[in-house]
Amino acid sequence: MGQPVEQIVRRKLSDEVFDRLERLITSGELKPGDEMPSERVLMERFGVGRPAIREAMQALANMGLVNISHGERAKVLQLTAKSIFRQVDLTAKIMLSQSSDSLEHLKSARIFFERGMAREAAQRATEKDIADLHDIIERQRASLGDAEEFISADMQFHTRIAQISGNPIFAAVSEAMLAWLKAYHTDMLIWTGKEKFTLVEHEEILARLAKNDADGAEQAMLKHLERSRALYTK
């Protein structure tokens, strides 16, 4: 038998340009905050036309590697855990809307994650952390009847706990998961009227964190999330 044919697919010029521009960034030749070379300079450097440059630059922007502003030179962006998660926001929400299994998996992942964050926060929380969490709960209490404000404070409470870890990836994961669940949060609060349960449970979590009680904080968080888990509607 002869060898199977492995056809070489000719790549678009813009793909080649994209690879070269990406290498300029990953090699460190261009750093966060630097302006990208002008279209004319890139056209001369790579020997291609303006459309290939523009298409490659747009691909970089779509990946969050550069920022393109009208009338200004594109700039290299500083990549962070938060910006990386924002790149998948839309696709994550579409995945959740299309699959109840995916939503269940996200709920499970969130509970696993938040339990760990509660333990970590109990071991690390400072007086400032506890004061900030108390202020968020009071803001949440003051927004009873305003679903959007209440949910915003709810998300801030959980993300603030993740921030106590000092790890920006944990904070970014918390924000991302809550953003993906936000539509379900809204339905939960408007249709079930369980806001006061949420406030009591947040206070219980805070009390455990203030006492540096890792086991108690984890259990209070688990109780809170297991109760609310069943209220998310597809």
What mean pLDDT value characterizes the chain?
A: 88
Average pLDDT over residues 140-158: 91
Residue 233 has pLDDT above 60, yes or no: no
Give dist(CA 234, CA 219) in Å, integer.
Answer: 27
The answer to whether residue 99 sits within a structural domain is yes
151/194 same-domain check: yes
Better pLDDT: 34 or 5: 34
127/198 same-domain check: yes
Q: Which domain holds residue 17?
A: 13-76
The predicted structure's pLDDT at residue 146: 87
Residue 43 has pLDDT above 50, yes or no: yes
59/89 same-domain check: no
Better pLDDT: 64 or 29: 29
With b for 16 or more beta-carbon neighbours within 10 A and e for fewer, the 6-27 pattern comes to eeeeeeebbeebbeebeebbee
Angle at 91 between CA 87 and CA 92, to 5 degrees: 95
Average pLDDT over residues 214-226: 95
122/53 same-domain check: no
Instruction: Name the domain boundary from 53, 76, 99.
Output: 76
Instruction: Name the domain boundary from 76, 92, 119.
Output: 76
Confidence of residue 234 (pLDDT cuts 50, 70, 90): very low
Confidence of residue 4 (pLDDT cuts 50, 70, 90): low
Average pLDDT over residues 100-108: 87
The answer to whether residue 7 sits within a structural domain is no
116/225 same-domain check: yes
Average pLDDT over residues 73-88: 84
Tens of pLDDT along 117-129? 999 999 999 999 9
Average pLDDT over residues 186-194: 61
Model confidence, pTM? 0.72
Give dist(CA 140, CA 123) in Å, integer.
Answer: 25
